[in-house]
Amino acid sequence: MNTGELIWTEDPPFPENAKRAVDNSQLRRNVRNATATIRQRRAGLVAETPDWQELRKAGAAIKDDVLHHLDAYLEEFERNAANRRATVHWARDAAEASQTITDLIKKTGETEVIKVKSMVTQEIGLVDALQNAGINAHETDLAELIVQLAHDRPSHIVVPALHRNRAEIRRIFLDHMADAPRDLTDDPHALAEAARLHLRRLFLRTKVAISGANFAIAETGGLLVAESEGNGRMCLTLPETLISVVGIEKLIPTFSDLEVFLQLLPRSATGERMNPYNSVWTGVTPGDGPQAVHIVLLDNGRTRALADATGRQALRCIRCAACLNVCPVYERTGGHAYGATYPGPIGAILTPLLVGVEHAPQLPFASSLCGACYEVCPVEIDIPTVLVKLRHDAVNAHRHRAEDAAFATAASAMSGRRRWSAALKAARLMRFVRHGAPPPLHRWTRTRDLPDPPGEPFREWWRKR
Amino acid sequence: MMHGMRVALFATCLIDALYPDAGKATVHLLERLDQPVEFPLEQTCCGQMHANSGYFQPSLVRRYIDTFTDYDAIVTPSASCAGAIRHQHAMIARAAQDDALAAAAQQTAGKTYELSQFLIDVLHTDDVGAYFPHRVTYHPTCHSLRMLQLGDRPLRLLKKVRGIDLVDLPNDQECCGFGGTFSIKNPDVSAAMLADKMESVIETGAEVLCAGDRSCLMHIGGGLERIRAGVKTLHLAEILASTDGETAH
Ligand code: SF4
C-alpha cells in the first residue's frame, strides 16, 4: 500500500525532532501564543454551552453508528450522489487516489487547479503527485498558501501556518509571491490584502478545483466544507469541475446530524459559535456551480484502523485539532516533530493505526498521557487508552533488547516478597548517582536530581512497628 | 461503608522504596481518624509503569488481586496508581485473554480508593484535624484530575488544615511533564514542561508544593532541587497527617 505522505519522515524519530523543536525559541513562542489563544476561546464557548457533554456523546454515538455500518452508509452515499449526477470513484490508497485525480484533470485539458484547504490531500501527497504530472495546484487557504510558498509543511490540522509569525509571513510573501507589493508591511490586514489580490486572479481564471470534505451525508449524497475565509467557497462554486477527496470515515447518516457536528466543530476548532462559511453541495445543480462533480472515496489505511477494536474510535475524529491545542507536548514541539501529516495527540494514534504501528513505533510514546486531549475531544476519543494499547503493540512489533531486559528485571523483582525486599536494599545505591546517573537514567539527571533514598523502605518501618 | 471494615494500605512501589514518609503519614492519618489499616507484605507494584511503557504484566495484576481481595477497601496515596488499577487492570487482563482475571480485577478495582477519595467518600470527612502553618500550593496531577476525576476533594481537605496559607498555582491543570518513562524517552519535552511548571510554583512564593502523587513530585521536586529553588515537595498525606506537635516540615 502506498500511503502517500501519512508519514513523511521516519528518521530521525520523534525524540530527536522534538529536541530540535524545543530548542527553537521562535517556534516555541509562536506555537505557545497561537494554541493559548484558540484554547481560551474554545474554553469560553464550551462553558456557555450547557449541553456540551450531551453533544459530545451524541457526536460519538453518530460516528460509532457510521463505523459500525460503514459498508451500508457508503453504498447509500454513492447511490444518492450518483442520482444527483456526481461521479463517485473509489481509492484504496494514496497512489490510487492521486492517479484518479490526475486522470480526471488531464481529461479537462487544464494544467492549473485551485485547492480548498484539506488534510486528506496533504495525506495523499496530492500536490506533489500533480506536479509530477505537469499540473500546478495552488493552495487558496491563506495559511496553506503561506506553507506552500515557503516549501514548508503544515504544522497544525486547522491552522497550518501556526508555527509562523507575521514577520516571517511578510518575508515569505516578499520572497515567493511574485505579485506581492514591494512595500508590504507585517500588518495583518496588509498581509491578507496581498494574499487576496493574488488569489482573486487565480479564482477568476482556473477551471478545476480540488477539495476535501468535513462531512459526507449518506442520506443525500452531499458534501460539506466548513471554513473561515470564503476562499473555499470560491473554489467550490466558480470552477467548472470540482473533485473532492473524502476519507470513508467522513460519513454521517443524515442531513440533520449536522445539527450536532456544526455545534461541536467550530467551538472545538477555532473557538467560534459557527463557521463563517459552511458550504454544502449535492452533486450537480444545473446552471449553478461546477457542472462536473467528482468524489474520490479514500481508504488509505482506514479499514486497517477499523479492524482495531480499541483504536477504531480514532475514526470518529472530525479534525478539529482541539487535542493539539491543549496538548502540552504539541505546545512545545509544534507539528513537524511528529514527521507525519496528522500531528499532536490524534496524530500519535491515527498515524500508527493507518500505516501499522511497526512503521511509526515512536509516535504512541510522544505523550505524557496527561489526558487533556480526551477531555476536550468533541467526539470523546479516549486518546490515552489508545496510546497505551498502541505502545503495547509497538513493543511487541519492535523488540528492544535492553528495554525488554529492564522491564523483565523489574517485573521479576516485583514478583515476590523476598525479591522485592532485596530490590529495595539495592535502591539505596541511588544516592551515589543522584546528580548524574549512567545511561539511560542520565536523561533524568540532566535536568533533575534523583531522590535521596531513605534509610529504610516503608515495609521495614511497618515490620518494626 | 461503616467502621469496623478491614482496610488495607497499598503503599505503591515508589513510596515503599523511596518515599516511606508518605506511607507513614497515610498510616498515622488513618489511625488518628480511628480507621485501622493493614499493610499486607505481599504487595509490590500495580504495574502502571510497565503498562504505560507498553509492557503489560498480568502477573502484577494478579498479585494485586491476590494480595487485596479479602479486604473491604484498599486505600492508596497515589492517584495515578489508583487510576491504573481502576482503568488499566481489566484491560491488561483482557489483552492476555484472561476474562476471569479481568472480572476479578474489576472487583478489586471497585474497592480501591485514592487517599482523598477514601477520606471524603468513605470516611465522610473533609476536616482531618491537621495543623500545618506554612505557605503551600497544590498541583492537581493529571491522573487525579482527569483519570480519577477527584475534583476538588484534595483542596477541600487542604482548606480545612489549620494554619495553612494555601495559594493557587497558576496553570495548575497543566501536566508537569513526568509521564513515567516519558521523562526518559522524551527528556527534552519533559524538561520543557517541567521548566514551566517550576516557574508557576516559584511564582506562588510557596515553601511547599503539595500533590497526591509522589511520582510527579519526584520529577518536579528533582527539578526544584537541581536549581536550589528552596521549595519542598510534600505528599498530601504528609500535610494532612501533620499536627501541632508533629509536623512534616
Ligand atoms: S481527536 Fe478529537 S480533539 Fe483531536 S482533532 Fe480529532 S475530533 Fe478533534
CATH of the domain at A156: 3.40.50.10420
Residue where a domain terminates, one of A267, A302, A337: A302
Q: Whose CA is nearest to atom 7 of ligand 1?
A: A317
Is A443 in contact with B187 (Cβ distance < 8 A)? yes
Note whether residue A42 is domain-resident.
yes
C-alpha distances in Å from residue A377, one per residue of A230, A278, A318, A364 = 26, 21, 9, 18
C-alpha distances in Å from residue A256, one per residue of A216, A220, B141 = 12, 11, 40
Kindly give the residue spans of alpha helices, DSSP state H, lying in A70-229. 70-83, 94-108, 119-123, 126-132, 142-149, 166-176, 188-205
Cβ atoms of B196 and B172 within 8 Å: the answer is no
Answer yes or no: is the C-beta of A378 below 6 A from any ligand 1 atom: yes
pLDDT class of B4 with cuts at 50, 70, 90: confident
Note whether residue A454 is domain-resident.
yes
Contacts with B, A 72-101, CB within 8 Å: none
- Mean pLDDT across the stretch A428-447? 92
Separation of alpha carbons B234 and B137, rounded Å: 10
Statement to judge: residues A29 and A174 lie in one domain: yes
Model confidence pLDDT, tens digit, residues B198-225: 999 999 999 999 999 999 999 999 999 9
pLDDT class of A399 with cuts at 50, 70, 90: confident
pLDDT on residue A401: 86
Answer yes or no: is the C-beta of A321 below 6 A from any ligand 1 atom: yes
Separation of alpha carbons B176 and B191, rounded Å: 9
* Chain-centroid distance, C-alpha B193: 20
Note whether residue A125 is domain-resident.
yes
- Pairing mode, strands B208-211 and B135-138: parallel
Separation of alpha carbons A99 and B48, rounded Å: 47
DSSP letter at B169 equals P
Residue where a domain terminates, one of A258, A275, A302: A302
Separation of alpha carbons A258 and A274, rounded Å: 12
**Among candidate residues A335, A326, A327, A301, the one with its CA nearest the CA of residue A315:** A301
Model confidence pLDDT, tens digit, residues A259-315: 999 999 999 999 999 999 999 999 999 999 999 999 999 999 999 999 999 999 999
User: Is the model's pLDDT at A10 over the cut of 80?
Assistant: no
Residue type, A267: R
Nearest to B11 among A385, A441, A458 (CB): A458
Q: Whose CA is nearest to atom 6 of ligand 1?
A: A317
- Mean pLDDT across the stretch A213-242? 97
CB atoms within 10 A of CB A429: 9
Separation of alpha carbons B177 and A13, rounded Å: 19
Model confidence pLDDT, tens digit, residues A230-257: 999 999 999 999 999 999 999 999 999 9
Answer yes or no: is the C-beta of A326 below 6 A from any ligand 1 atom: no
Note whether residue A87 is domain-resident.
yes
Separation of alpha carbons B249 and B237, rounded Å: 12
pTM: 0.96
Tell me the three cell numbers of residue A432: 551515589
Ligand 1: distance of its center to the CA of A374 in Å? 8
Ligand 1: distance of its center to the CA of A62 in Å? 15
pLDDT class of B3 with cuts at 50, 70, 90: low
Kindly give the residue spans of alpha helices, DSSP state H, lying in B33-144. 48-52, 58-68, 79-87, 89-95, 99-110, 115-117, 142
**Among candidate residues A323, A220, A335, A309, the one with its CA nearest the CA of residue A268:** A323
Note whether residue A395 is domain-resident.
no
Note whether residue A263 is domain-resident.
yes
Contacts with B, A 314-353, CB within 8 Å: 328-329, 332-333
pLDDT on residue B21: 97
Is B63 in contact with A414 (Cβ distance < 8 A)? yes
Note whether residue A419 is domain-resident.
yes
Least confident of A5-14, A54-63, A255-264: A5-14
Position in ligand 1 atom list of the atom nearest CA A318: 7
Separation of alpha carbons B129 and B161, rounded Å: 7
The number of distinct structural domains making up chain A is 2
pLDDT on residue B39: 98
- Mean pLDDT across the stretch A325-339? 97
Note whether residue A96 is domain-resident.
yes
Residue A105, domain extent = 14-302
Residue where a domain terminates, one of A286, A302, A318: A302
CA distance A457 to chain B (A): 5
